[in-house]
Structure formats: structure tokens, C-alpha cells
Amino acid sequence: MNPLIPQERHHPGEGPGDGTLAVRAGLPEPVKHEPTLPGPVFAAHFHLPGEPTGPYTYGRDENPTWTHLERAIGTLEAPGESGVETVVFASGMAAISAVLLSQLSAGDAVVLPADGYQALPLLHEQLRAYGIEVRTAPTGGDAQLDVLDGARLLWIETPSNPGLDVCDIRRLVAAAHAGGALVAVDNTLATPLGQRPLELGADFSVASDTKGMTGHGDVLLGHVSCRDPLRAAEVRRWRKIVGAIPGPMEAWLAHRSLATLQLRIDRQCATALGLALVLAEHPDVTGLRHPGLPEDPSHAIAARQMRRFGSVISFELADRARAERFLEELRLVDDATSFGGVRSSAERRGRWGGDAVAEGFIRFSVGAEDPEDLIADVLRALDAARKAVG
């Protein structure tokens, strides 16, 4: 057992472990001759004689395939709790927007991370246009506490993307709630198997399920989970208003993918830490970040609140040319902008603009390849890049 890797806190008698939860989550009661996981329901409308009662009336409001997936994600977000509600969306940005725009009104103030997901600044513009005050502060050092006074909502992203800083969720939640603010946590990088924001006191747990939750790079999806039925109803109403609904096929594929979540995440997290330890010794690598590294600035906090440290690593190479050549030399790693998938991917993050990173900054998402093969490929590519570029 590697002491650097958080172990699942599961003992007999405490309820199912993560693997069992992932495999069984959201499945309906078995019916003879019916599939274990019913196929996707494609329906714009449902038979509805008389008064419009019952769960399914119109395809923009509810769908049985969504219901199974929402129950599954709720089980993973808060195992053993019956009161958690989950709302699925067409993308992670749809889920993020739904929380912010359903909870904030003109005159409110919101605190957002200054180093968060690249699309957040687009929301800054929209929120300000609606008369909402936007405050920002970095994730590291719990700096958002300094601009929290009087805010209506605190938005946390931990670990942050792409810098991988970590903040103390419990501490920030306590301060926000003391001041009357709600707290939402973007949990995309960690997934519910890495940390459970609702258990740490957050009001909303939000994620882009396009990433680690579905893990195959073929589905766009997002979700919001919360305990308060009023808040859940507000988020669900926003989904209805803007129509940011997932397709039944995407929802079904996502549910199917959850069955391997624990297997995927454990393999990816273990390999990510192994690769990070190797990169820490490489002379061409600087600015290495991974919450699982004992010397990482965020390790102490991450070890207290995270159950797994995640599959993403960030580091810097000398310059843009060296980074580009490194990516070209990789054979087992896709040059792609997403993360959390079974196939490793990496990119020079600065190519998009908007992130405060160096030209040689690399965000590396570790997949499910054999660790020895992946590490060998990375080391070979680093050496090749040095020889080619100097």
C-alpha cells in the first residue's frame, strides 16, 4: 500500500465501497426479462390523458433516462443519504451557469476564483451585465476569504484548473455560511471519488461530467447536486427555461460509464502520482504541480479533504518551442484540451490565452495506459524535445 495515495475509507459494516456504489448506482429495481440498465428513452412527449400529473409530461422537463443517471450521481456525491437531489445538464458550463444565474440577482455579489476554468471570465461579463458584482481571488492560500464579506455566493474550484491549487473547503464554507453566503464547489478535477463537497459542507457540488465522470471523451455532460430541495428546484427551473438538457443517449452513455468509475480513477490517480514523482527528478521540468506530491504546496490541505488526488499534472518546460516539440514526440498521449479520460492527453495550455500560465506550461491528464509504458513515453519525448530544440 502506497502511503502517498489516500486509501478509500471503507470498512465492512460502513456501507458499500466506491466500486460497489459505482457499479450499482441508479439502477432500477430488477424486473424479469428487463435489462439491468434500461436503454435510453427517446421522447419529446409522453401519453398524458387528463390532468398533467406524474413525473414525465414533456421531454424538456424530465426523462426516465435522466432520472436513473441523476440518482446514480446523487449516490456517488453523498452515499447513504436520501435527500440529495441531482440535476443533469447538456454540459459542464450549463451546470455552472445554472447555479450562478439561478441564485444571483441584480445587486448581489459573487466571489469567483481568479485562477479557475478558462470560460469563467465569459460569465463575469454576463453577470456584470445583469448588475451582479463580481469579485475574484486566487484559490491558493484560501485567498477568497479576503473578498467574501457581504457576498451572496462563493464559488470554489479545487483543485483549480489548470494550476492545481487547493483551498480548504471546510474553512471557506464555515466563513461563507457565517456571513449568509451560499457555497458552490466545482468538483470536476476530483470527481466524487476524489472528494465530496456536500460532505464538506458545500451547498452545491458541480462538475463537468465530460471529464473524469464519463471518462471516454465522447460525451458532453454536467451536473449539479445539492441537499436543499428549494435550491434544486431553482436549478431545475433554470434548466427548463434555457433548455440546457442532455440528450437521452448521452445520459445513458454517462450512466453506463459510471460503472467503471472507480476502476478508472484508481488506475489514473496512481499512475499520475507515479509520473509526477518521476517528473520531479527530471532536469527539464520546472513548476511541477500535483496535490499528491508530499512537497506540493497544496498537499497538506489536499490530504485532509481529498480521498484521491486526481489524474491531472501540470508542469513547465523551458519555452513554447520545447513544449510544442514535447507534445509532438509523445506517442501514447493525445494533444487534446480535455482531461480525465482513459486515454492520456496533454496540451500547451497557453495556446488558448486566458490562463495566467507560461508559454511552456503543460497540462497533462493521465489515462489508463500501463504506467511503465506511459512514463517511458513521456521520458523519451522529453529527451527528444531537448535534443531537437536545445
Write out the catalytic residue numbers. 60, 117, 186, 211
Reference 231, options 270, 190, 183; nearest CA is: 183
- Residue 165 backbone dihedrals phi, psi, to 5 degrees: -75, 155
Beta bridge partners of 85: 226
Residue 215's CB: how many other CB atoms inside 10 A? 27
CB 144, CB 174: distance < 8 Å: no
Residue 25's CB: how many other CB atoms inside 10 A? 21
- Reading the block at residue 254, the C-alpha cell is 454517462
Give every CB contact of residue 226 below 8 A, 6+ residues apart in sequence: 84, 85, 198, 203, 204, 205, 232, 235
User: What is the enclosing helix (H) or strand (E) of 185?
Assistant: strand 182-186
Compute the distance between CA of residue 345 and CA of residue 336 in angstroms, rounded to an integer: 6
Compute the distance between CA of residue 290 and CA of residue 343 in angstroms, rounded to an integer: 19
Helix ranges restricted to H, 91-192: 92-103, 120-129, 169-178
Name residue, grid cell 400529473. Answer: 53
How many residues make up the chain in this entry? 390
Compute the distance between CA of residue 114 and CA of residue 25 in angstroms, rounded to an integer: 35
CB 158, CB 139: distance < 8 Å: yes
